[in-house]
Amino acid sequence: MQGSDIKTIGIVGAGRVGTALARRAVAAGYDVRIATSKPPAEIALLLEIMVPGAHPATVEAVAAAADIVILALPLSKYRDLEPKMFAGKIVIDVMNYWAPTDGVIPEFEGSKSSSEIVQDYLPKARLVRSFNHIGYHEIEEEARPSGHPGRRSLALAGNDADARRLVAGFIDRIGFDPVEAGDLVRSRSFATGTPVFGAILGHDEMRQRLQDLAESTG
């Protein structure tokens, strides 16, 4: 699949991050479909107001139709997903673990990143981690055209190199410079509490910081 073949973006979750990404995706010309735990008819009016141009759907329909699926639901709800729906799909994990608000969830208290745990749960998904280290409001405020001198960069990590490439194309198209960190284990480099999390960095700065973190952690 080429980057130009990516036509449909599916988003599971209609919170602040999900709707911000949906608006950027609509503006970039993608066909955007959004699902929540509610029936599509119950979120149609919300989407009409919050994300004009996006279409309500079921999670099953989103997973079936989308070229890229974005998981933007509360992390504590990830086990509500049906793994077989995401087999072979490119999936972007934007979810974060926040113990102060989510409560302590023991499975996320170990050394693994939350994305590695989600990948274990969705073993056949082509999971890529990104967008977790930028504020939802910045997704729209910080977006810039390609080549803009003040363009912000976003890190991404995943075990599937082709999936990383296609997600990088999506990141670029909606207004940011993608910087590959490597396999999914490297998503720990831009998790909450790291020097990358929340930092406004250009492409070269991001690449250097990720490299420094990789070298320091081995």
The per-residue pLDDT for range 75-86, each reduced to its tens digit, is 989 999 999 999
Confidence of residue 60 (pLDDT cuts 50, 70, 90): very high
Nearest to 69 by CA among 127, 115, 123, 120: 127
> Where in the chain are the domains?
3-217
Q: Residue 156 pLDDT more than 70?
A: yes
The span from the CA of 119 to the CA of 104, in Å, is 20
Q: Residue 5 pLDDT more than 90?
A: no
Q: Residue 41 pLDDT more than 70?
A: yes
pTM equals 0.95
Confidence of residue 108 (pLDDT cuts 50, 70, 90): confident
Burial classification of residue 1, based on how many CB atoms lie within 10 Å of its CB (0-12 exposed, 13-18 middle, 19 or more buried): exposed
CATH superfamily, domain 3-217, is NAD(P)-binding Rossmann-like Domain (3.40.50.720)
Alpha carbon 136 to its chain centroid, in Å, reads 11
The span from the CA of 53 to the CA of 81, in Å, is 25
